[in-house]
A and B are shown apart, each in its own frame.
Chain A
Amino acid sequence: MFRRLPEPRARAVHFTFEGEALTAHSGDSVAAALLGAGIGHSRTTPRSGTARAPYCMMGVCFECLIEIDGVANRQGCLVEVRDGMTVRRQQGAPGLPEDLADEGGK
């Protein structure tokens, strides 16, 4: 759906999405990297479970929420993709991180 403009100085960046190895360009945001890789949807909504993809690409719409390196609810368009990143599709709203939930029970 998206075609890249030529970027002479870009270097390849390797990350995974849902366990699948993908390649992006240095300087891409996580959201841009996913769109560039043809990923159809990057999260589902908490209310109805419908699919969403990054939209505004500038930090205002929150459609790009995604789990990066185990931290949910990150705005993919505001985070630069890095080598070795683990990105997962966000399903609805996250709960509290488990280690924290344990702490609360004490």
Chain B
Amino acid sequence: MAGSSDVIVVGGGLVGSAIAYGLAREGAKVTILDEGDVAFRASRGNFGLVWVQGKGDGMPDYASWTRRSKDLYQGFADGMLEHNGRDIELKQEGGLELCLGEDAYRENEDEIRRMHNQPGVGENDRRMIDAEEVRKIMPLVGPEVTGASFSPHDGHVNPLYLLHSLHAAARQLGARYVSGGKTLSIARDGDGFRAETEAGVFRSGKLVIAAGIANKWLAPMVGLDIPVNPNRGHILITERMQPVMPMLLVNARQTADGTINFGNSHEDAGYDTSISPAKLGEIARNVVRYFPILKNVRVVRTWSALRVMAPDGFPIYRESETAPGAFSISCHSGVTLAAAHALDLAPTILNGGFNDRFAAFSPERFNVSPAA
């Protein structure tokens, strides 16, 4: 047997690593079992937003959970630095969703109204601003931009530095990271669990399944049904430029290095991660509608990656009832929620009461038969 720990975390992406770091901070002995570069890995292909506005329309608990993570983020970033993590380039200076045309403007406005009536954080201080105000903030937007919604809570990080930082900080706190540890089976073993992997057999008291879209086939081994599916997104990266984008957008951000990243496409393409030239063209054409000025800027890299998506888009968290001590965690905004996962969700795993604390995120919500 390759070793025994308090908690095994299956999956070393942003979700698993944030939880592992949080557990290690609490003094738990943690082993992270991570598949390898052949795996689908949203955490290596995402956009880097710590995004708040619009999150949780239809699920107030998700709105307040997102907001909590945002509020914890600066302390979370500083905490990782204390444990040999790295600077994740966190900026939380607010963000815009630009609207092209009147319909888009009304859609955002309606969303704000709907969320205003939700209990908890409501609309998260989100408000509409008109085209003139947008031009004051972003002089480079084109004539088709009719306005924007703005929230002061939106921000971004360098997502690869975040992943690296989580790994480094968790390791410094004693966590063990096993690469090439594709987990093949999980079973109860006495009071705890036993995971058979391509890197050997591991034992632990508790077990957290945080393997992205692979949760779908791993979670049933501990009696959980987690209906997550892949959702493909493309990202385009431009050449480096002087700062030209004074504020973060939901679909464009300029990094500390000067590149501009574009994205926010959503496609159901199964498990296919190939790049669709048609999609790239669509994203690029859209960008030029927002920013005609960028029409001659060169795109130097592009990729696609698969999001981890629940049928309703909200997180799914659950401790197994048939195998207590085994948890499944999935969400489609693992960057945004990393702070809450590390500082709030991880301690709840150790301290009990998980299903009460996270009742709203239970997969049981998918089993409710529709009202007649």
- Please tell me if A97 contacts chain B, counting CB pairs below 8 Å: yes
- Tell me whether A96 and B241 are in contact in the complex, defined as CB-CB below 8 angstroms, given that A47-B257, A104-B140 are known contacts: yes
- Tell me whether A96 and B239 are in contact in the complex, defined as CB-CB below 8 angstroms, given that A62-B300, A104-B292, A105-B139 are known contacts: no
The B contact surface, by secondary structure, is: loop
Q: Assess the A95–B244 pair: CB atoms within 8 A.
A: yes
B256 to chain A, nearest CB (A): 8
The A contact surface, by secondary structure, is: loop
- Please tell me if A93 contacts chain B, counting CB pairs below 8 Å: yes
Residues from 243 to 286 in B contacting A, C-beta threshold 8 Å: 244, 256-258
Interface size on B, residues (CB 8 A): 17
Cα A94 to Cα B300 in complex, Å, equals 15
Q: Assess the B258–A101 pair: CB atoms within 8 A.
A: no
- Please tell me if B369 contacts chain A, counting CB pairs below 8 Å: no
Cα A46 to Cα B241 in complex, Å, equals 9
Residues from 110 to 159 in B contacting A, C-beta threshold 8 Å: 139-140
Q: Assess the A96–B244 pair: CB atoms within 8 A.
A: yes
* Chain B residue at smallest Cβ distance from A95: B242
Cα A91 to Cα B180 in complex, Å, equals 42
For A46, what are the chain B residues with a Cβ–Cβ distance below 8 Å? 240, 257-258
Specify which of A47, A95, A104, A105 is in contact with B241 (CB 8 Å cutoff).
Answer: A95
Residues from 59 to 92 in A contacting B, C-beta threshold 8 Å: 62, 73, 92
A98 to chain B, nearest CB (A): 11
Specify which of A73, A96, A97, A100 is in contact with B240 (CB 8 Å cutoff).
Answer: A73
Q: Assess the A94–B242 pair: CB atoms within 8 A.
A: yes
Cα A96 to Cα B244 in complex, Å, equals 8
Specify which of B140, B291, B292, B296 is in contact with A97 (CB 8 Å cutoff).
Answer: B296
Enumerate chain B interface residues (CB-CB to A < 8 A): 139-140, 239-242, 244, 256-258, 291-293, 296-298, 300
Jot down 6 A-B pairs with beta carbons below 8 A, ordered by A.
A46-B258, A73-B239, A93-B242, A93-B258, A96-B244, A104-B291
